[in-house]
Structure 1
Amino acid sequence: MDFMELFFIALGAAVIVCYGVKLLLFSRMLFPKMWFPLSKSFFTSLGEWAVVTGASEGIGRAYALALAEKGMNVVIMSRTKVTLDQVAKEIGDTTGQRVKVIVTDFMKDNVFSELEDQLRNLNIGVLVNNVGMLPSFIPCKFLETARLDQTITMTINCNVKTMAKMCKIILPGMENRGKGVIVNISSGIASIPFPLYTLYAASKVFVERFSQGLQAEYSDKGIIIQAVAPFGVSTRMAGYQKTNIVTLSPEDFVKSSLQYLRAGDKTHGSVCHIVLGWLLQSIPLKVLYAESMLHSLQDYIKKKAALNATICASNATFENGRNK
């Protein structure tokens, strides 16, 4: 057996081992309760309070409720006081935990000194940076975005600046106590450069890189920092799409994602979304970026949005008629 034969045998063996390890790591994601178990007292052992931004609806509301069900008091933040008060009452009535409401608009500048004052004396064990904005549900090219200058500022303030500032406020306390969890909500579409959602996808890439860098810096302090990148979740931002095996309800997604807290510095939060992430990264970008593909995406989402609007209008008409 000459040198070249030995080389190719060794190379083949290395490839088999490499893919075997990848398959093993992927298989762990199918059974998070077995591979990444959390004790019943895990969350309450971190601290008395959890802070959730963008908690008036959708994924943020689901995180606030789930953490309260696990025994934590929660601080919920959003810009809509009426909705926050409703969520606070629901959490209090169903869990018996204390709820602190903070009304703030993260799209604006200079809101963080006041937030820091309101959070100063709380023993915060969990931070969920959920608040975010999608410039346009209907995909469009960057220069076609409505009120582009204003949209750039609001997107960066909401999706990028807020996450970094909230970490600046809360991370020091976690470092001093040597424990804590920070969950930063990204998006599945940040897995690749995503045309027609360019600004939004780019802002979510920042979320992932920031989270991964922080985790490397503070993992030895006993702090878990993780980016969670969901695909389809039935929220207002996603046009309240009908739930199915791919599009999850906020409650089901959050319940699943919390099982992956020990699974690394980034997760898609559920088995089906993990598979979607793998598939998206396996498709050649030339295929995804083809003009016909982009037009098809636009047409599909426009039709979905129109259908959802029709259904909402019909439901509203039915309710009005019934209440007369």
Structure 2
Amino acid sequence: MINYFKLKLLKTAFFLGEKYKVETKVIVADFGEREDIYNGIKAGLEGLEIGVLVNNVGMSYSYPEYFIDIPELEKMIDKMVNINIMSVCKMTRLVLPGMLERSKGIILNIASASGMCPTPLLTLYSATKAFVDFFSRGLHAEYKSKGIIVQSVLPYYVATKMSKIRKPTLDKPSPETYVRAALGTVGLQSQTNGYLPHALMGWIISLLPTSTAINLIMKTNKQIRARYFKKMKGK
């Protein structure tokens, strides 16, 4: 496991060891930094046979916003590209050669349903996730004949801290429910929404003309943005 928060890593490693009786290696790294963290990660992975790589690191906006009005825009651009795009490319570069030597391996890249269609007011985030989707599907085509599975996973909302959704529902499942469903698609689909209700949502959106879908998303995100500012004003 790789994360910038060492205490969280150690707690998770302890939990996994206690529950599943496995040894977990932890590497502390901040994917949002400009500095080259990947030499340290490479050293930490030395000697390990990585059978499955899950590129799950990601960040989004605090609230929907017009591109030029995003707070600390320059910093946000650098950080989001480093976290959402650069990490996927660099981690794949580190792990894929070993998988090719063994003629087997799985790479799961967590994109987002926002990457399936331009998402106004989350434009930068949406674009980075579209990159992850295209990158994943291209890699799968390149390496599937060599025993490597590369899957693009495009969830809608899941009840996590990042989404700020506390209570799971049918269309906004808990992480456990979503992961259990998504793992069932590995090896069957190179691109997946991972969870049946999300797949149905994606199918419905795909039936709409792109311009209609974009307009609907814009309207929804404008409403979310307005609620955010109303809430902030009330504090």
* Match 1:212 to one of 134, 137, 141: 137
> Does 1:191 find its partner at 2:87?
no
Once the two structures are superposed, what CA deviation does each residue of 1:92-116 show, in whole Å capped at 9, x if it has no partner? 1110010111111001130001100
The Cα shift of 1:170 comes to: 0.3
For 2:65, what is the secondary structure of its paired residue? coil
CA 129–188 in structure 1, closer or farther in 2 if over 3 Å, else same:
same
> Could you state the TM-score of these two structures normalised by the residue count of structure 1?
0.68
For 1:124, what is the secondary structure of its paired residue? coil
Q: CA separation in 1, counterparts of 2:103 and 2:146?
A: 5
For 2:26, what is the secondary structure of its paired residue? strand
User: Which residue in the other structure is 2:222 paired with?
Assistant: 298
* Match 2:40 to one of 114, 124, 128: 114
The Cα shift of 1:232 comes to: 1.3
Structure 2 gap ranges (5+): none
User: Which residue in the other structure is 2:3 paired with?
Assistant: 78
> Does 1:129 find its partner at 2:129?
no
User: Which residue in the other structure is 1:268 paired with?
Assistant: 193
User: Which residue in the other structure is 1:156 paired with?
Assistant: 81
- The question of whether the paired residues in 1 share the 8 Å contact of 2:205 and 2:213 is answered with no
The Cα shift of 1:189 comes to: 1.2
CA 252–296 in structure 1, closer or farther in 2 if over 3 Å, else same:
closer
Q: CA separation in 2, counterparts of 1:274 and 1:123?
A: 33
Structure 1 gap ranges (5+): 1-75, 311-324
* Match 1:104 to one of 6, 29, 36: 29
CA 181–305 in structure 1, closer or farther in 2 if over 3 Å, else same:
farther
Worse-matched range after superposition: 274-283 or 114-123:
274-283
The Cα shift of 1:301 comes to: 5.7
Q: CA separation in 2, counterparts of 1:280 and 1:293?
A: 10
CA 176–260 in structure 1, closer or farther in 2 if over 3 Å, else same:
same
Question: How large is the Cα RMSD of the aligned pairs?
Answer: 1.9
Once the two structures are superposed, what CA deviation does each residue of 1:207-256 show, in whole Å capped at 9, x if it has no partner? 01111111111111111100100001011110034211100101111111
For 1:262, what is the secondary structure of its paired residue? coil
For 1:217, what is the secondary structure of its paired residue? helix
User: Which residue in the other structure is 1:229 paired with?
Assistant: 154
Q: CA separation in 1, counterparts of 2:196 and 2:74?
A: 38
| Count of residues paired in the alignment | 231
For residues 13-32 of structure 1, what are the structure 2 equivalents within 5 Å?
none
Worse-matched range after superposition: 280-289 or 215-224:
280-289
The Cα shift of 1:195 comes to: 0.7
Percent of aligned positions that are identical: 35
Amino acid at match of 2:79: M
CA 91–201 in structure 1, closer or farther in 2 if over 3 Å, else same:
same
* Match 2:18 to one of 77, 87, 93: 93
The Cα shift of 1:281 comes to: 2.0
The Cα shift of 1:173 comes to: 0.3
For 1:205, what is the secondary structure of its paired residue? helix
User: Which residue in the other structure is 2:103 paired with?
Assistant: 178
User: Which residue in the other structure is 1:278 paired with?
Assistant: 203
Once the two structures are superposed, what CA deviation does each residue of 1:158-182 show, in whole Å capped at 9, x if it has no partner? 0101100000000000000000100
The Cα shift of 1:304 comes to: 7.4
The Cα shift of 1:137 comes to: 3.0
For 1:97, what is the secondary structure of its paired residue? coil
User: Which residue in the other structure is 2:126 paired with?
Assistant: 201
Q: CA separation in 2, counterparts of 1:256 and 1:301?
A: 31
User: Which residue in the other structure is 1:146 paired with?
Assistant: 71
Amino acid at match of 1:300: I
